[in-house]
């Protein structure tokens, strides 16, 4: 803002915004054209004689002011507008003084009424102090030129002219009151806006503090889980290892005593398989808290996902939920840590299974395994359960975020961690017909990190 802007209602930038409209610019050019037209009919004849006089000088001044305003608008230098208006005020005062004291002629009622027009124009362009000064000078000129002929004895009384002067003075006082009240209201409005902005800032600061506290609590809980992860895994591995030992002993005994009972041997093999699977799952949880001991190998993702579906099939059947698997016909090979991907797949399956509050008819969970390109493989788990709101989807991946009464809120966090280990991503999206689609996207080639 320049020093000149302090005396104007509108700054240079504000004028630029107003005149960015073609309608406003066109109207301004039309007004200037009318001004040139009036100047031509009233002053062009005087210029043709080249007779040096006040009227000639007045005509040149008016022509210069109109030209200045035209060039200012065309060049987008809008300071020409207030300068031109000041010029018009001065020219108006000089014209009526010349008419009264040089020509010794009465000013007309219409000329007095012009002062009210100047009052309005000045109030639109200038701030209160400058407006008051200009308007007072215009009114003082009108009042002096109206009274002077009677004082000098060069004219008769004109009641209509005096009434016009009184009207002009009343308009000046009334406008000053209006502008003063407007200034007070603007100041009060500005103070209210500042108070509202301060309150909004306080609310935002408090919300930020609350979010920071909540994040600190979540991070503390995550740190506790990571710190206890290895210890818990070790404690759980002990009974699993004992169960595996007992299974091996039972197999050795059954090989001798149960040769004629193949059903017993098959059941024992199933127990051993699930004990080994439980041991791998516990080890997978331990691996998520560290970058060590993670083993990557070329794996057919179709078979890896099929194994997890077989593991969860009984639970889906018990809940009355149809579990469908649609692998791609071609091999979907990827260089992954099989134990981590298995753990993430189980978490996605469990989330889909728990998306149904009660056993309902038509509950379906579909699993799709595909390789959209040679660089990526995707595991999709699609359900028609209750789904999540857009807000729920946004916060679903936060640690300890859960919509289930008995949920720990770390399932999707585990999936996200696995995806990061494989340079991939995990995402959720709402299905058009209801339910949710979860997509685990993994790099098919060797990961970095």
- Rounded Cα gap, residues 304 and 294, in angstroms: 17
Q: Which of 109, 131, 157 is the last residue of a domain?
A: 157
| Residues 118 and 18 reside in one and the same domain | yes
Please measure the distance between the N-terminal and C-terminal CA atoms of the chain and give it in whole angstroms.
54
| Residues 400 and 329 reside in one and the same domain | yes
| Residues 90 and 145 reside in one and the same domain | yes
Is 81 inside any structural domain? yes
Is 128 inside any structural domain? yes
- Rounded Cα gap, residues 274 and 279, in angstroms: 8
| Residues 248 and 303 reside in one and the same domain | no
- Rounded Cα gap, residues 378 and 245, in angstroms: 37
- Rounded Cα gap, residues 344 and 367, in angstroms: 13
Is 329 inside any structural domain? yes
| Residues 133 and 266 reside in one and the same domain | no
Residue 400 has a pLDDT of 42
Residue 366 has a pLDDT of 92
| Residues 429 and 355 reside in one and the same domain | yes
| Residues 269 and 315 reside in one and the same domain | no
- Rounded Cα gap, residues 321 and 359, in angstroms: 7
Is 213 inside any structural domain? no
Task: Compute the C-alpha angle 230/232/233, nearest 5°.
Answer: 65
- Rounded Cα gap, residues 288 and 222, in angstroms: 12
| Residues 323 and 259 reside in one and the same domain | no
| Residues 280 and 343 reside in one and the same domain | no
Q: How far is CA 2 from the centre of its chain?
A: 32
Residue 380 has a pLDDT of 92
Is 339 inside any structural domain? yes
Residue 406 has a pLDDT of 41
Residue 381 has a pLDDT of 92
H-helix or E-strand containing 69?
Answer: helix 54-74
Q: Take residue 255 and report the two structure tokens written for it.
A: 């090989």
Q: What is the DSSP string of 115-163?
A: HHHHHHHHHHHB-HHHHHHHHHHHHHHHHHHHHHHHHHT-S---HHHHH
Q: How far is CA 213 from the centre of its chain?
A: 24
Is 183 inside any structural domain? no
Residue 405 has a pLDDT of 45
| Residues 283 and 312 reside in one and the same domain | no
CATH number at residue 310: 3.30.565.10
Is 439 inside any structural domain? yes
Place of tokens 């509950």: 363
| Residues 129 and 111 reside in one and the same domain | yes
Range of the domain at 306: 297-443
What SS3 state is found at 366? Answer: strand
Is 113 inside any structural domain? yes
| Residues 272 and 397 reside in one and the same domain | no
Per-residue pLDDT of the chain (449 residues; tens, 9 = 90+): 567 778 888 877 888 888 888 888 888 889 889 888 888 877 655 555 555 667 778 888 888 988 998 998 888 888 888 899 899 889 888 888 888 888 877 777 777 778 888 888 888 888 888 888 888 888 888 888 888 776 666 555 566 666 667 767 777 777 777 767 766 776 777 778 888 888 888 888 888 888 777 766 665 655 555 556 666 666 777 787 777 787 777 777 776 666 656 777 777 777 777 777 677 666 666 655 555 556 788 888 888 888 888 878 888 888 888 889 988 777 788 888 887 888 888 888 988 888 887 667 788 899 999 888 888 899 999 988 887 877 777 766 654 444 454 443 456 777 888 888 888 888 888 888 788 888 999 888 765 54
The count of domains in the chain is 3
- Rounded Cα gap, residues 47 and 41, in angstroms: 11
Residue 290 has a pLDDT of 54
Q: Which of 123, 140, 157 is the last residue of a domain?
A: 157
**What is the length of the chain?**
449
Task: Compute the C-alpha angle 170/175/178, nearest 5°.
Answer: 130
Q: Which of 110, 142, 157 is the last residue of a domain?
A: 157
């Amino acid at each position: 803002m320049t020093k000149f802007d302090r005396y104007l209602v509108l700054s240079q930038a504000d004028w630029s915004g107003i005149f960015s409209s073609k309608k406003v610019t066109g109207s301004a050019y039309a007004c200037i054209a009318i001004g040139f037209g009036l100047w031509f009919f009233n002053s062009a004849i005087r210029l043709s004689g080249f007779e040096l006089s006040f009227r000639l000088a007045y005509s040149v001044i008016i022509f210069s002011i109109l030209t200045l305003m035209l060039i200012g608008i065309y060049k987008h230098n809008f300071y020409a507008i207030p300068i031109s208006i000041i010029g018009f005020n001065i020219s108006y005062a000089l014209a009526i003084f010349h008419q009264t004291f040089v020509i010794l002629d009465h000013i007309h009622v219409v000329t007095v009424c012009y002062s009210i027009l100047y009052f309005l124009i000045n109030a639109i362009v200038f701030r209160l102090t400058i407006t008051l000064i200009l308007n007072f000078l215009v009114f003082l000129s009108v009042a002096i030129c109206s009274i002077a002929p009677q004082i000098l004895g060069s004219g008769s009384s004109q009641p209509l002219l005096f009434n016009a002067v009184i009207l002009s003075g009343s308009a000046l006082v009334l406008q000053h009151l209006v502008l003063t009240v407007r200034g007070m209201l603007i100041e009060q409005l500005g103070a209210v806006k500042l108070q509202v902005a301060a309150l909004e800032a306080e609310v935002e600061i408090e919300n930020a503090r609350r979010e920071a506290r909540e994040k600190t609590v979540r991070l503390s809980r995550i740190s506790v889980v990571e710190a206890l992860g290895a210890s818990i895994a070790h404690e759980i591995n002990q009974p699993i290892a004992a169960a595996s030992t007992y299974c091996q002993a039972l197999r050795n005994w059954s090989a001798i005593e149960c040769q004629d009972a193949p059903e017993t041997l098959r059941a024992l093999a199933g127990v051993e398989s699930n004990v080994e699977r439980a041991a791998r799952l516990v080890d997978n949880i331990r691996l998520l808290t560290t970058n060590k001991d993670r083993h990557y190998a070329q794996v057919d993702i179709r078979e890896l996902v099929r194994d997890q579906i077989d593991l969860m099939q009984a639970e889906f059947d018990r809940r009355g939920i149809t579990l469908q698997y649609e692998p791609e016909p071609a091999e979907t090979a990827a260089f992954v840590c099989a134990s981590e991907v298995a753990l993430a797949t189980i978490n996605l399956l469990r989330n889909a299974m728990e998306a149904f509050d009660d056993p309902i008819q038509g509950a379906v969970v579909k699993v799709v395994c595909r390789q959209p390109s040679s660089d990526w493989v995707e595991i999709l788990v699609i359900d028609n359960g209750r789904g999540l709101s857009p807000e729920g989807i946004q916060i679903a991946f936060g640690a300890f975020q859960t919509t289930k009464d008995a949920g720990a809120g770390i399932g999707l966090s585990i999936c996200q961690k696995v995806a990061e280990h494989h340079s991939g991503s995990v995402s959720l999206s709402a299905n058009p017909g209801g339910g949710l689609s979860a997509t685990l996207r993994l790099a098919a080639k060797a990961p970095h990190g």
